[in-house]
């Protein structure tokens, strides 16, 4: 069974625009690069041709992956969710139990994750550890450096 990708309307629109860009402009640029390299002669020893074909393959892989995400996308809004337990789209303020440092993250789908904007994926170790927790709960997050405990301080939108 395919995994459902929960996205905001903004995230869905952004992915759709990226996919359309890759399918049109991206494919045209890849085809031009291949044609240019092909015009340089012998294909058996043409590094530019090989590089252009590899780039085209990577482009098609990215298009395929975005199409899978879009095919399994479900658009959700905060109106459909609550703040009693941590879910996707929640802003969660957590405190590192050991260091007492607080930070607030918004949990989003992997396709919308952006650490600079403090948007973390629900499928990341921290995101998975926080899902389903309530205010006051301790979330144990497994990291390469060991288990870190976070106390849920606040859940909002």
- Distance, in Å, from the CA atom of 31 to the CA atom of 18, rounded to the nearest integer, reads 18
pLDDT band at 2 (very low <50, low <70, confident <90, very high): low
Express as a percent the part of the chain with pLDDT over 70.
Answer: 95
Q: Which of 1-15, 47-61, 103-117, 128-142 has the least mean pLDDT?
A: 1-15
Instruction: Read off the pLDDT of residues 95-108 as tens digits, 9 standing for 90 and up.
Output: 999 999 999 999 98
Q: What is the structure's pLDDT at 63?
A: 93
Q: What is the structure's pLDDT at 102?
A: 93
Q: What are the boundaries of each domain within the chain? A: 5-75, 78-156
Q: Which CATH number applies to 5-75: 1.10.3210.10, 3.40.50.10240, 1.10.287.180, 3.40.1190.20?
A: 1.10.287.180
Contacts by residues 107-116 (CB-CB < 8 Å, ≥ 24 positions apart):
107/131, 108/8, 108/11, 109/5, 109/6, 109/7, 109/11, 110/5, 111/5, 111/7, 111/11, 111/15, 111/69, 112/7, 112/8, 112/11, 112/14
What architecture does CATH give domain 78-156?
Answer: Roll (3.10)
Q: What is the structure's pLDDT at 18?
A: 93
Q: Are strands 146-156 and 91-96 parallel, antiparallel or unpaired?
A: antiparallel
Cβ-based burial of 14 (10 A; exposed 0-12, middle 13-18, buried ≥19): middle
pLDDT average, residue stretch 40-52: 79
The conformation of residue 4, written as its DSSP 8-state character, comes to P
pLDDT average, residue stretch 41-61: 85
Q: What is the structure's pLDDT at 103?
A: 92
Question: Considering the entire predicted model, what is its pTM?
Answer: 0.65
Q: What is the structure's pLDDT at 62?
A: 93
């Amino acid at each position: 069974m395919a995994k459902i990708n929960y996205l905001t309307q903004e995230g869905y629109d952004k992915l759709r625009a990226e996919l359309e860009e890759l399918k049109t402009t991206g494919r045209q640029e890849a085809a031009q690069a291949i044609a240019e390299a092909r015009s340089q002669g012998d294909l058996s020893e043409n590094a530019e041709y090989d590089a252009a074909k590899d780039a085209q393959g990577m482009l098609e892989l990215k298009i395929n992956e975005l199409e899978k995400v879009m095919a399994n996308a479900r658009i959700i809004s905060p109106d459909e969710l609550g703040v009693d337990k941590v879910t996707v789209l929640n802003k969660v303020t957590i405190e590192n139990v050991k260091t007492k440092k607080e930070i607030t993250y918004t949990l989003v789908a992997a396709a919308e994750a952006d650490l600079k904007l403090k948007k973390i994926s629900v499928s990341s170790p921290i995101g998975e550890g926080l899902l389903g927790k309530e205010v006051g709960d301790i979330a144990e997050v497994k990291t390469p450096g060991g288990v870190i405990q976070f106390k849920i301080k606040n859940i909002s939108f």
